[in-house]
Structure 1
Amino acid sequence: MTVAERLNEDMKQAMRDKNKEKLSVIRMIKASLQNELIRTGEAELSEDEELSILSRELKQRKDSLQEFESAGRDDLAQKLEFEISIVQQYLPKQLTSEELEQIIKQTITEVNATSKKDMGRVMSAIMPKVKGRADGSLINKIVQKHLN
């Protein structure tokens, strides 16, 4: 079942349950997917494209969450935490820090990276391997730690 199909099923269920908050988040995700379809002009999105959009939605919400928390807006932060939990339901299972560490070490060895100058090569090799399963900023920090 594709992400779009799951979203449709969950949207119907949220309507039946009269869960307005969940319905709102699902509609936002569906709108992002639909906008990408219109932009590309294709009949449907590939799984990778869907994951990219979901990852982008998650990142936007996490960035906003940090801003709201630093501004002391707990009411908005709670709403975003709920939205983040809904978006994460449609992403693949996230990698543990140990799994991520192993993939990064392996990739650094594969591309023969030795210094921070090789950061771009390492990141471009890692990202396809962990697409949608790990946060890019976390990957960046771990790679930097290993390239020192």
Structure 2
Amino acid sequence: MSLENTISEAIKTAMREKDRVALDSLRAVKAQILLLQTEARGAEVTPEQEIAILQRMIKQRKDSFEQFSAQGRNDLAEVEEAQMKIIEKFLPKQLTPEELEAEIRNIISQTGAESAKDLGKVMGAASKALAGKSDGKSISEMAKKLLS
């Protein structure tokens, strides 16, 4: 089942349960998917593109959460956090820090990287290999740590 169909079913469930936060979050995801389909002009939307949409939406909500928290607007921060948790359910299982470190060590050995100069090579391979399993910031931080 495609992400769009999964989201549509989740929207129906949220409507039946009268879960406003879930409904708003899921409608936003569906809107982004439809926008991507429109931009693709009939071309099939790949799972990688769908994952990228979800990750971007989670990042946006995380940034908003941090800003609202810093400003003392806990009411708005709670909504952003709840939406983040709902959207995360549709991502593949995220890697733990230990699993991420093992994956990046493997990528470093495959690419032959030896120092921080090779970070670009490692990041390119890691971003492709770990798409959806970890966010770019975590991948970058771990790669920098292991290459220094």
- TM-based fold match above 0.5: yes
- Aligned position for 1:129: 129
Q: What per-residue deviation string (whole Å, max 9, x for no partner) do you get for residues 51-107 of structure 1? A: 111111111111222222222221111001100001001101111111110000011
Amino acid at match of 1:28: A
Trace 1:7-86 onto structure 2 (pairs within 5 A): 7-86=7-86
| Offset at residue 9 of structure 1 (A) | 0.5
Q: TM-score, normalised by structure 2?
A: 0.95
Letter in 2 for 1:121: K
Unaligned runs of 5+ in 1: none
Which amino acid in the other structure matches residue 99 of structure 1? Answer: E
- The whole-number CA distance in structure 1 between the counterparts of 2:126 and 2:99 is 13
Query: Matches of 1:107 and 1:50 in 2, distance apart?
Result: 24
> Residues of 2 paired with 1:123 and 1:79: CA distance?
33
The alignment covers a number of residue pairs equal to 148
Q: Percent identity?
A: 39
Distance in 1 separating the partners of 2:115 and 2:73: 41
The Cα of 1:43 is off from its aligned counterpart by: 4.8
Name the counterpart of 1:116.
116
Task: Judge which range, 98-107 or 65-74, deviates more.
Answer: 65-74
Runs of 4+ in 1 over 4 A off after TM superposition: none
Structure 1 distance, partners of 2:146, 2:6, is 38
Match for 2:27: what amino acid?
R
Backbone CA RMSD of aligned residues: 1.1
**What is the distance in 1 between the residues matched to 2:58 and 2:21?**
16
